[in-house]
Amino acid sequence: MKLRIALVEYLNTWPFSKGITLSGLEEEFDFFHVPPAQCAELFKRGEADISLCPVGALSSLPSHEVLGRYCIGADGPVETVMLLSKLPLSQITSVRLDDHSRTSNQLIQILARDLWDVDWDFYFSNEGDAESCLMIGDKVFEHRNKFPFHYDLASAWKSLTGLPMVFAVWVARPGVPREVIQALDDACALGLRLLTTGQHQLQPWQSAYLTEKISYPLDDHKQKALTHFLEKAASLQTPLVQKQP
């Protein structure tokens, strides 16, 4: 039976997806290309052996280990995790959340409490327009110009903590062979080499986004940031229940 790997389907995972394709791993494993929240759910249900998992879901996972040298992170503005609003920050009273990632939903609660010192109502809804909403992923590129006020959550986190933000990490269930983890790591490294050497067919804005806004190495600085985020997320008094798409 092939091992099953859940991978986020956003543009920011292009180096991982490209490296996996070129390395031939698509032939060796079964891949699910899904939104971040589904990566966590597949792992929790035992339907994925390895997952690129939102860090906000780590505490709810069954036994696992964080693996590899890479993550989805940002050391400053990320542009695809945004509070978009028709109102300035001081006039916002409620924010619609994004059900694609628990991490960002937790992050905006932390920022509201610890940076902006506001008491907003947070809610999930798929109906109608919202005056203020959290939006993540590729859809931000399409919808951000509909809102006059933009607040980048990774940039706000850096202002609050002085640390980068880690949005997702690779996790594996116990018993996954080390050579599989190494092969996945090597595939990610291959995709990143293609990106940084310009050996791709991306549009200029896509290449700029991936090289300037996304930070992939899971280094010591990001390990510290991850620990700090998880501590702050655990301190939220009323954690929101994640609705699945």
In tens, the pLDDT along 50-59 reads 999 999 999 9
Residue 174: predicted pLDDT: 94
φ, ψ dihedrals at 117, nearest 5°: 55, 55
Q: How far apart are CA 184 and CA 197, in angstroms?
A: 20
Is there a single domain that holds both residue 58 and residue 9?
A: yes
Report the CATH number that the domain containing residue 63 is assigned in CATH.
3.40.190.10
CA distance 232 to 217: 22
The residue written with tokens 């919202």 in the block is 130
Final residue belonging to a domain, choices 146, 161, 176: 161
pLDDT in the model for residue 126:
81
Q: What is the mean pLDDT of residues 214-228?
A: 97
Domain that holds residue 38: 4-73+165-230
Q: 153-161 vs 102-114: helix axis angle to the nearest 10?
A: 50
pLDDT band at 198 (very low <50, low <70, confident <90, very high): confident
Check whether residue 157 and residue 215 sit in a common domain: no
- Count the domains in the chain: 2
181/221 same-domain check: yes
Q: Is the same domain home to 203 and 94?
A: no
193-204: average pLDDT? 92
For 121-130, what is the mean pLDDT? Answer: 86
**Residue 129: pLDDT above 90?**
no
Bridge-based pairing of strands 81-85 and 149-152 is antiparallel
Last residue of a domain, one of 140, 161, 182: 161
The verdict on residue 241 lying in a domain is no
Q: Decide: 102 and 168 in contact? Cβ < 8 Å.
A: no
Alpha-carbon gap, residue 176 to 220, rounded angstroms: 24
pLDDT of residue 238: 59
In a shared domain, residues 9 and 56:
yes
Tens digits of per-residue pLDDT, 11-65?
999 999 999 999 999 999 999 999 888 999 999 999 999 999 999 999 999 999 9
- Among 132, 161, 190, give the residue marking a domain's end: 161
Average pLDDT of span 165-190: 96
pTM above 0.85, yes or no: yes
| Distance between CA atoms of residues 67 and 184, nearest Å | 10
Residue 158 has pLDDT above 50, yes or no: yes
* pLDDT tops 70 at residue 163: yes
Task: Give the pLDDT band (50/70/90) at residue 204.
Answer: very high
The reply to whether 172 and 157 lie within a common domain is no
Are residues 183 and 66 both part of a single domain? yes
Tell me the mean pLDDT in the region 127-139. Answer: 90
Whether residues 41 and 150 share a domain: the answer is no
Same domain, 64 and 85: no
Q: Over the stretch 95-114, which tens digit does the pLDDT of each residue have? A: 999 988 889 999 999 999 99
